[in-house]
Amino acid sequence: MDSGTTAATSLSPDMVRGKLTANAPLAPLVWFKAGGAADWLFEPADLDDLTRFLGTVNGGMQVMALGLGSNLIVRDGGVPGVVIRLGKAFAKVRDLGDCVLECGGGASGILVASTARDAGIAGLEFLRGIPGTVGGFVRMNGGAYGREVSDVLVDCDVVLADGTLITLPARDLRYTYRHSALPDGAVVVAARFRGQPGDPVAIGAEMDRIAAAREESQPLRSKTGGSTFKNPSGDKAWRLVDAAGCRGLTMGGAQVSEKHTNFLINTGNATSAEIEGLGEEVRRRVRASQGVALEWEIQRVGRP
């Protein structure tokens, strides 16, 4: 028996003040509404509950943070170790002055952008267009409408897999396109973003424009996973997928969106294997017809 298995079997719900659930279904928590269960799902009561729990586990099992589950395929065999989901205690946003907002790791992009608007802070409107939480888009360098997190992040508070709490300046995340150097198992519990002074009316109008553009171009009413593939340098993933003849392509219950070809959708009861398999088939067809190797933007986690 390996150390990870030993750690997993020694866990019990009475170790924490929050909620610790064994064999917890993850499909209801992700946008695709597909996939298996987490060995353990931990929803900490607060920061102290989280650091104590991870200190007890002390790196003895795999740790994965889960935000809104908007850009994620949870494979059908489920996720080993412990999945951490930050709740209301981590969803607060406050104005620190000097055009800086302090945001909990569980706060949504919409909440951050709305708080910035109300405080007259411009430059964070694009976060309205990211369907995720602060923790997720800090890790992934999330972006939309020509801006990304690396443009506005000051620093972030991170709990490492052994329970240590550290603050990392933006430069230490070594951001590239949809990627950061955050270590595996690290949980982003807070971040600070800096904008610039702006007019709340103009900021609100820009947020409305972003919301309308998303509604018009993306299949937001479907069970989807957001942008499937990264945009190659100088091109758009959706254009390549369309040019390869993949618009509307299906595999089981999974389909390439007719509305936006860089989105996969679960038309009913698709398995995660069908969704991921369809994505791989799209990659194969794009490579064969366009000579471009598309890279996944959606995270795929867990056992097949």
| d(C-alpha 263, C-alpha 208), whole Å | 22
235, 236, 85: which is closest to 227 by C-alpha? 236
Which one of the listed residues 108, 180, 227, 272 is annotated catalytic?
Answer: 227
| d(C-alpha 39, C-alpha 288), whole Å | 39
Which one of the listed residues 75, 178, 283, 285 is annotated catalytic?
Answer: 178
Collapse the DSSP code of 3 into the 3-class scheme (helix H, G, I; strand E, B; otherwise coil) and give the result. Answer: helix
* Annotated catalytic residue 276: no
Within 8 A by CB and 6+ apart from 136, the residues are 65, 67, 68, 70, 71, 142
Question: What residues does 79 pair with on adjacent strands?
Answer: 38
* Annotated catalytic residue 150: no
Spatial contact of 72 and 302, defined as CB atoms under 8 Å apart: no
* Annotated catalytic residue 214: no
- State CA 57 to chain mean position distance: 24
Which one of the listed residues 125, 148, 276, 297 is annotated catalytic?
Answer: 297
Question: What residues does 73 pair with on adjacent strands?
Answer: 300
Catalytic residues: 178, 227, 297
